[in-house]
Structure 1
Amino acid sequence: MSPAWNRRHVLSLSDFAPWEYNTVLQTANSFREVLSRRTKKVPTLQGQVVTNLFFEPSTRTRSSFELAAKRLSADTLNFAPGSSSLTKGETILDTAKTYLAMGTDLMVIRHKEAGVPHAIAAEMDRLNSGVGVLNAGDGQHEHPSQALLDLFTICALLDPANPRLELLQGKKIAIVGDILHSRVARSNLWSLTASGAEVHMAAPPTLLPKQFADYVKASDTAGSSEGIDRKLFIHWELEPALQAADFVMTLRLQKERMTSHLLPSLREYYQHFGITRERLQQCQPHVKVMHPGPTNRGVEITSDIMDDPDMSLIAEQVTNGVAVRMALLYLMGGGKA
């Protein structure tokens, strides 16, 4: 038996234990079955309020969390910064406390600056509010729910009836793209290496500093994930990362976060790191391709691969995102695994 779920907040995956990953995977699998029914709602969070505090644009994550909350029968509040009191000088913490006063039970927070969800969670704890905070992406830090839905997508493909962490033992997963600015990559590092998979990261040196590997080593030493043998490899060329890979995860070039000329041109990036059908021939014959979206077609990945149902898992990632976020809200809202 796994221990009882006792996380009030999900801010990072750096201190997730293997049993916690499996709890999320198994709970998400139950909700995936619920979402396949004609009646897709369950009353598990009826009477609770989920507030989406998104301080930066989002399509997939925001819509996914809103739908997940509604499928659990929760009431939802959606915050829009452009029409909020932030434009009048109100602080972010005061905004959060305003929603607390309205009876919010769970807050889902996205912000362009790292640490904002942590600051709000700390304030909720200081007030003994009992409110749970879920990080939906903060700056160049983490995006836990995206990494968990990526993990679920892979494990559910390998064993639809019983997705679990151990299925990735010995698998090779390549992560390619703008790793420097990617919170998705940082969260996926924790989840995928905790499974025993080999994670190979590939990007130009300007988008993948040599010190990136030290991020995992330093955080792991300070964290609570002792005993996990993390297998992380850094490449400044694409071929070594793709060689015999089981899964290839491409990342968007985040031009809006690039403050200097980190790439000569998008064309040159595509020539050296773009994922094409020809390049995927170096991978395992059964290789599957993933992308967290949104995608720059013809830059990070060709359209024919994206639209190939036998090779692409991109649509499954979006679909599974609702089930995984239902699982997180359910567990944080007091549900039993």
Structure 2
Amino acid sequence: MQPAGWPVIAQHASDGRLHHLLTLEGVPRETVVALLDRAQALMDGNPDPRALAGRAMCTLFFEPSTRTRLSFQRAAQRLGADVLNFDASTSSTTKGETARDTLKTIEAMGVQCFVVRAAEDGAVAALAAAAAPGTSLVNAGDGRSAHPTQGLLDMLTLRQAKGVDFSALKVLVVGDVLHSRVARSDLHALRTLGAGEIRVCAPRALLPGDGLLSGCTVTTDFDAALDGVDAVMLLRLQRERMVEGLVDSLEDYHRDYGLTPRRLRRAAGDAVVLHPGPMNRGIEIDDTVADGPQSLVLRQVANGVAVRMAVLEALLARA
């Protein structure tokens, strides 16, 4: 549920075309499926290297990123778009320029799409409200609110491993749900695609109380939550967003919520493991699991390029 005070931005244009991608909450199933289908087609074939020729995309990141920033750059390059990379640490934001003024300045240079990461909840929606009518924005992660392309690439990875029908799937999301924008986008997407059972597991202090978990089976017992699941979606312990005391110690967290080979045996025999990265090895996941045959972590990274190509096509391709 969008907090009060945030600008309400329509993600679709009047003709039904996707204009912004700010969240997966409320995105119609047919739109999600079409993006996943197109991403898979792009993986299976050769993208048109001139599809976005003459179009320009800027990665406007106010927080650090490796996978998301580079995969958006790679996606745009493969489709022939011009790519501008914004580095907050060397920009005029260090002199006090606002994010809105930064966006409007770069927009005036002829950039039609901004991929934005920001620390504040609702920051990307606020920039979308300020953008010109022909400018599209993609939320690459804002605060703890949403990370829609991560949600899409996680769904593509699940589809490749388990098939397109999610109705019989038992999926477990485990870890720092409270601070995770990935968890929110994954849960929205899993509901939209009709996952049979969604389990959520975390220490009580890391479970949100805003209605996000409605309809989920919620527990603090990781071992019980793992029983028979088809997919385990791990979350990074986001210590940079925490106040003291939410987790007793990293050692205790690993003991109670770290995915080890022994624990993984409680899941279905063909269960798969996902993690959005960066992984805290030895905290939420053991090396043996992270690098093991059930881990799809690197496939998620590869799928990220295809999903982001599909999103950029939907936003920028000329009729």
Give the structure-2-normalised TM-score.
Answer: 0.92
Give the distance between the partners of 1:255 and 1:41, measured in 2 at CA: 41
Give the distance between the partners of 1:5 and 1:46, measured in 2 at CA: 23
Partner of 1:178: 176
Partner of 1:283: 267
Asked if 1:32 is matched to 2:53, the reply is: no
Question: Once the two structures are superposed, what CA deviation does each residue of 1:2-59 show, in whole Å capped at 9, x if it has no partner?
Answer: xx8512000011111110111011110111123xx5xx66211010000000001000
Aligned residue type for 2:24: L
Which runs of 5 or more residues in structure 1 are unaligned?
A: 218-230
2:136 to 127, 132, 136: 132
Aligned residue type for 1:134: V
Query: CA shift at 1:270, angstroms?
Result: 0.8
Give the distance between the partners of 1:156 and 1:49, measured in 2 at CA: 31
Aligned residue type for 1:319: A
Question: Once the two structures are superposed, what CA deviation does each residue of 1:300-334 show, in whole Å capped at 9, x if it has no partner?
Answer: 011011111x2100010000000000000000113
Q: Structure 1 vs Structure 2: percent identity of aligned residues?
A: 42
Give the distance between the partners of 1:240 and 1:194, measured in 2 at CA: 26
Give the distance between the partners of 1:116 and 1:216, measured in 2 at CA: 23
Partner of 1:201: 200
Aligned residue type for 1:327: A
Give the distance between the partners of 1:33 and 1:252, measured in 2 at CA: 30
Partner of 1:98: 105
Structure 1 residues 127-166: aligned runs within 5 Å: 127-128=132-133, 130-159=134-163, 164=164
Worse overlay, 321-330 or 271-280? 271-280
Which runs of 5 or more residues in structure 2 are unaligned?
A: 1-14
Partner of 2:18: 7
3-state SS, counterpart of residue 212 of structure 2 = helix
Alpha carbons 1:193, 1:232 under 8 Å: kept: no
Distance 1:280 1:216, change over 3 A: closer
Query: CA shift at 1:261, angstroms?
Result: 1.7
Query: CA shift at 1:335, angstroms?
Result: 5.7
3-state SS, counterpart of residue 77 of structure 1 = strand
Give the distance between the partners of 1:144 and 1:30, measured in 2 at CA: 20
Query: CA shift at 1:208, angstroms?
Result: 1.0
Question: Once the two structures are superposed, what CA deviation does each residue of 1:125-170 show, in whole Å capped at 9, x if it has no partner?
Answer: xx43x111000000010000001000001102234xxxx4xx1112
Distance 1:122 1:70, change over 3 A: same
3-state SS, counterpart of residue 179 of structure 1 = coil
Alpha carbons 1:49, 1:74 under 8 Å: kept: yes
Query: CA shift at 1:245, angstroms?
Result: 0.3
2:166 to 165, 168, 177: 168
Give the distance between the partners of 2:16 and 2:202, measured in 1 at CA: 37
1:245 to 229, 232, 236: 229
Give the distance between the partners of 1:144 and 1:205, measured in 2 at CA: 25
Alpha carbons 1:10, 1:144 under 8 Å: kept: yes
Asked if 1:307 is matched to 2:311, the reply is: no
Distance 1:44 1:5, change over 3 A: farther
Question: Once the two structures are superposed, what CA deviation does each residue of 1:241-282 show, in whole Å capped at 9, x if it has no partner?
Answer: 211100001111111111222111111011111111111121
Asked if 1:48 is matched to 2:55, the reply is: yes
Give the distance between the partners of 2:251 and 2:21, measured in 1 at CA: 38
